[in-house]
A = this chain, B = another copy of it.
Amino acid sequence: MKKLINTPEDVVDQALAGMIAAHPGYIRVEEPNIVVRMDAPRPGKVGVISGGGSGHEPMHGGFVGMGMLDAACPGAVFTSPVPDQMLAATKAVNGGAGVLHIVKNYTGDIMNFEIAAEMARDEGIEVTAVVIADDVAVKDSLYTAGRRGVGGTVLAEKIVGAAAEAGADIATVTALCQKVQDNVRSMGMALTSCTVPAAGKPTFELGDDEMEIGIGIHGEPGRTRMKLATADEITEMLAGPILDDLPFKAGDEVLAFVNGMGGTPLVELYIVFNKLAQICEARGVKITRSLVGNYITSLEMAGCSITLLKLDEELTKYWDAPVNTPALRWGV
């Protein structure tokens, strides 16, 4: 296992300490290991929180800040955070206008966020939740009843965070998050496995000439394992099922998000984007916004995922709105 770490046990804590050191004006870390926007709670503002296992950085801690998340709950690597974290985050960002939980569809996350929501409600905080389940690769999965929550989560957090920043109420913010979920689809692939530090060996084995299409962000099995193909062929294999699923139709405007899994260089992601743009154009689907880079990763896994979000005026407006977080920053 070749990693820039000290001990597997210290990975999450030391990375959080590094985040605070690098971005002191943005975020603070509170017990029990939650990342909180520096100026939270903001009276009258709907709080927006998310969380999940670590190892997907910058998601979610890197998205805490003005115009996006108010707090994030990082679990151990690839492990759900505990309800105490979600409860603490909910209380830390409660400005009296309610708190939305953005939950990726994994059994542990769902269960723990539900427990935390009940506890917060017992303390008089209005809590809503939206489950992101945008991965078209498989119907159920290793840690999932139903589709997995993947790249759409990043877009939901940006868009919903902007609406909350603009003063939308809890019902509006919650409905907007559901609207993102209803209009976003993703699929990913891996060229290599990743290694969870505490495990010390690759999560799965993949031959030197093999790839996994439809991979999950924890290395869960996808649709098919096959011989390595070209970037264009791989992009077809991901974009086709995404476009067919919603379905995206001629005339639709979309945000196209090509995400790196952590170990794939940017130059390759742009080659994928090039083919994706051609595929969309051939179907009459118009890419009006884009995001290219490592935003929801799987440690050092090599590979990529594609996410398409069908845009309308409201979603575009909130996507474009200012954001000021460690990982996404514009307009300020």
Identity of the chain B residue whose Cβ is nearest the Cβ of A277 in the assembled complex: B21
Identity of the chain B residue whose Cβ is nearest the Cβ of A291 in the assembled complex: B22
Question: Scoring A residues 62 to 100 as 1 if CB is less than 8 Å from chain B, else 0, what string do you get?
Answer: 100000000000000000000000000000000000000
User: Could you tell me if B274 and A2 are in contact, using CB atoms closer than 8 angstroms?
Assistant: no
Number of copies of this protein chain within its complex: 2
Of residues A57, A274, A299, which shows the largest number of chain B Cβ atoms within 10 Å of its Cβ?
Answer: A274
Tell whether A290 pairs with B329 under 8 Å between CB atoms, given A2-B302, A264-B300. Answer: no
Assembled-state Cα–Cα distance A228/B19 (Å): 24
A234 interface hit (Cβ, 8 Å): yes
Question: Scoring A residues 220 to 258 as 1 if CB is less than 8 Å from chain B, else 0, what string do you get?
Answer: 000000001011101000000000000000000000101
A131 interface hit (Cβ, 8 Å): no
User: Could you tell me if A271 and B15 are in contact, using CB atoms closer than 8 angstroms?
Assistant: yes
A265 interface hit (Cβ, 8 Å): yes
Chain B residues whose C-beta falls within 8 Å of the C-beta of A234 in the assembled complex: 4
User: Could you tell me if A14 and B274 are in contact, using CB atoms closer than 8 angstroms?
Assistant: yes
A266 interface hit (Cβ, 8 Å): yes
Least CB distance, A273 to chain B, in whole angstroms: 4
Instruction: Tell me the A295-332 residues at the B interface (CB within 8 Å).
Output: 297, 299-300, 302-304, 326, 329-332
Chain B residues whose C-beta falls within 8 Å of the C-beta of A21 in the assembled complex: 273-274, 277, 287, 290
A58 interface hit (Cβ, 8 Å): yes
A9 interface hit (Cβ, 8 Å): no
Least CB distance, A265 to chain B, in whole angstroms: 4
Least CB distance, A200 to chain B, in whole angstroms: 13
Identity of the chain B residue whose Cβ is nearest the Cβ of A281 in the assembled complex: B21
Tell whether A266 pairs with B290 under 8 Å between CB atoms, given A3-B191, A6-B230. Answer: no
Chain B residues whose C-beta falls within 8 Å of the C-beta of A270 in the assembled complex: 14-19, 22, 57
A263 interface hit (Cβ, 8 Å): yes
Assembled-state Cα–Cα distance A57/B228 (Å): 24
Of residues A54, A265, A267, which shows the largest number of chain B Cβ atoms within 10 Å of its Cβ?
Answer: A267
Least CB distance, A156 to chain B, in whole angstroms: 20
Q: List 14 A-B contacts (CB under 8 A).
A: A4-B303, A5-B230, A5-B268, A14-B271, A15-B271, A18-B271, A19-B270, A21-B290, A22-B258, A22-B277, A55-B267, A62-B266, A265-B294, A265-B300
User: Could you tell me if B22 and A299 are in contact, using CB atoms closer than 8 angstroms?
Assistant: no
Assembled-state Cα–Cα distance A280/B7 (Å): 22
Assembled-state Cα–Cα distance A140/B59 (Å): 40
Assembled-state Cα–Cα distance A256/B272 (Å): 32
4 nearest interchain CB pairs?
Answer: A18-B270, A18-B274, A21-B277, A4-B268
Least CB distance, A319 to chain B, in whole angstroms: 14
User: Could you tell me if A263 and B263 are in contact, using CB atoms closer than 8 angstroms?
Assistant: yes
Identity of the chain B residue whose Cβ is nearest the Cβ of A74 in the assembled complex: B267
Assembled-state Cα–Cα distance A272/B19 (Å): 10
Assembled-state Cα–Cα distance A263/B258 (Å): 17
